[in-house]
Structure 1
Amino acid sequence: MECTTEDCQNFTSTYLCTRCVSDLQQWLSKIPVLLEEIGTTIAKLDNVRPAGGGGGGGAKPGSAAPINLDALQLAQNLSSVGTDAKAYAHDERAAGLAWLIQDWVTKAELLVSGPEAEHINHVAIRARVQNIAPPMPTRTLLPWLRANAKITITAFDIRNWARRGKLVAVDREPQPTYHPHEVLNAWHDTRATQLATSPKN
């Protein structure tokens, strides 16, 4: 049968093909470190004291502890996730679960590290790429983008953007191909949305 991941089309004996299992394992491998770091975000340790030192006798009786509830929910979500991607491959809901795990990890990374400084001129890169880069299949596209556009995305990103209509394949046979500049547009739009909607610590 075909892998159940949207737009994958690899044949497999389980619900996720070997490539998608490998992609998912990369996301799962990030979770233990994120769970350690997100504790600081949950407690909002950098915001416990008022600006200027606070002074004057501590918290008022009955006042609520400063807690980032969004970070707490993400920590609970990530704590419920298994560590073995191969185990997910036998679940008929595997494709949807993989997408959900990626979404949780991405949001947790934003909460932990905050917005990254924008040192790269992505607008200029997209304009240059549009003129030089032909459509490519995902397997070729991902390393090409790492080398030429200085961004790292996964096959899950590509398939998710295609499923949501942010990307349209140029050709579908023998496998889908995408214009690199359109992938860059999807990445930039997604990143901007995530930063705009990410809860502030």
Structure 2
Amino acid sequence: MSHECTTEDCRNHTSTYLCGRCTSDLQQWLDKVPVLVRELSVTVARLDNVRPAGGGGGGGHQPGSAAPISLDALQLQENLRSVGTDAKAYAQDSRAAGLAWLIQDWVTKAELLVSGPDEPPINHAANRERVRNIAPAMPTRELLPWLRQNARIVVTSMDIRNWARRGKLNPVGREPQPTYHPHEVINAWHDTRVP
């Protein structure tokens, strides 16, 4: 007997509650579970973002009390331990679509706990614009340490002379020595390092 797959927005016909494509997708999620269960053991014990066992509030860690653990990681680990390994078996269950969604949600949350959130991309253009508004033009002897400390880049006086000679950098003033805007030096440095 053929009917539609129970996965939301899937109209594929199937003889089970999940079509072949949705069963294959679920199997890919299930294949991640054993590794995540192991990796969550480390995350459970990680002490950077934990609540005391027993939910205790106040007072900090008391002698003889349970060590702090990540309860979120522990709960996800237990949830994932309850998951089966065969997507075809889930496809036979009338609750298959909901179970598949729940497993995907647990795996996604576990991956985030294990690896942490993605680092936001660095907006170099915005950083250079901020420097333009806060840093005045400086002579090379002041500029080099400023760039090391504030922009975390190493530029030599030879770099600055070469960029000025090639027209990548224009001095603001020449008396008693040339001065350069830090944001222009950062631009020149960035242009020579980014393809």
Structure 1 length normalisation: TM-score? 0.52
Counterpart in the other structure of 1:6:
8
Letter in 1 for 2:93: D
1:61 Cα deviation (Å)? 2.1
1:118 Cα deviation (Å)? 2.9
Counterpart in the other structure of 2:147:
none
Could you say which structure has the larger radius of gyration? 2
Structure 2 length normalisation: TM-score? 0.53
**Larger RCO (alpha carbons 8 Å, 6+ apart):** 1
Pick closer, same or farther for the CA change 1:117–1:47 going to 2, 3 Å: closer
Specify the SS of the correspondent of 1:66. coil
For 2:48 and 2:96, how far apart are their aligned partners in 1?
Answer: 38
Q: What is the CA RMSD across the aligned residues, in angstroms? A: 2.1
For 1:73 and 1:38, how far apart are their aligned partners in 2?
Answer: 10
For 2:69 and 2:20, how far apart are their aligned partners in 1?
Answer: 40
Matched, 1:114 2:116: yes
Name the % identity. Answer: 77
* 1:171-186 pair list within 5 angstroms: none
Counterpart in the other structure of 2:39:
37
For 2:81 and 2:25, how far apart are their aligned partners in 1?
Answer: 19
Counterpart in the other structure of 1:20:
22
For 2:119 and 2:105, how far apart are their aligned partners in 1?
Answer: 21
Specify the SS of the correspondent of 1:23. helix
Counterpart in the other structure of 1:134:
none
Equivalenced residue count is: 111
Specify the SS of the correspondent of 1:6. coil
- The structure 1 segments of at least 4 consecutive aligned residues displaced by more than 4 Å after TM superposition are 45-48
Letter in 1 for 2:106: W
* 1:65-104 pair list within 5 angstroms: 65-104=67-106
Letter in 2 for 1:43: A
1:63 Cα deviation (Å)? 2.8
Letter in 1 for 2:119: A
Note if contact 2:47-2:70 (Cα within 8 Å) is conserved in structure 1.
no
Letter in 2 for 1:37: E
1:117 Cα deviation (Å)? 1.7
* 1:128-143 pair list within 5 angstroms: none
Specify the SS of the correspondent of 2:68. coil
Gaps of 5+ in 2: 51-60, 124-195
Specify the SS of the correspondent of 1:7. coil
